[in-house]
Amino acid sequence: MGDPTAAPRPQRLFIAIPLPDSVCSELARLAEPLRGVSWVAGRQLHLTLRFLGDVDPARVEGVAEGLGAVRVESFILPVEGVGAFPPKGPPQIIWAGVGSGHPHLFQLRQRVDDAVLAAGVDMDVRFFQPHVTLGRCGKGGTPAASSWLHRHAGFSAAPFRAMEFDLCSSRLSAGGAEHGIMRRYPLA
């Protein structure tokens, strides 16, 4: 049992758009045994709007409340194309894209960022390339991943309507990250 007077530990958080089961099933079918590639489980697939990392527990409620004030209309997203990060060099992350997205997706991302900043949480301000992470490449996974990317370059699935977004927790374990929904926010 831990020290009851110890300060609460930071929570590893991210904000994401959940995917319908039909889209998760289509994306999960892309996973095939590849040396050096670890695939994300179908139930864990999502479109990340903002990864926050470790957030001070004193700021979590402010983030949750701020996200509750975000208003954006629902929108339709395509699910098409695959790629890898980094864009040049050996693949480390394999992803599925959402085409060029939708203007409301970028509006949602901006309003999420505004809410997070207003709650006093620092963020990495990298360029936003919307995607669904499908897998991670370890050392030795590069040739297999490169071949997979080439074979699935023309991938597409049925578009879906984004109806909500989630504040999620992420706990790292030996089997990979385990995600949990802390709060769900409907889109207008």
- pLDDT for 120 beyond 80: yes
d(CA 181, CA 76): 22
pLDDT in tens, 37-47: 999 999 999 99
pLDDT the model gives residue 141: 67
11-186: CATH superfamily: Cyclic phosphodiesterase (3.90.1140.10)
Distance of CA 22 to the CA centre of its chain: 17
| Catalytic site residue from 46, 102, 104, 150 | 46
The reply to whether the predicted model has a pTM over 0.85 is yes
- The question of whether 46 is a catalytic residue gets the answer yes
pLDDT in tens, 84-109: 999 888 899 999 999 888 999 999 99
Q: What is the mean pLDDT of residues 52-81?
A: 97
| Catalytic site residue from 131, 150, 152, 179 | 131
Average pLDDT score, the chain: 92
Which residues lie closer than 8 Å to 186 by C-beta, 6 or more apart?
Answer: 163, 164
Q: Facing residues of 51 across strands?
A: 14
Domain assignments of the chain as residue spans, ordered by start: 11-186
Residue given tokens 């790629």 in the structure block: 83
- Strand extents, DSSP E, the chain: 11-18, 37-39, 46-55, 75-80, 82-85, 93-97, 131-137, 156-162, 164-173, 176-186
Closest CA to 142 of 78, 79, 69, 88: 88
pLDDT band at 161 (very low <50, low <70, confident <90, very high): very high
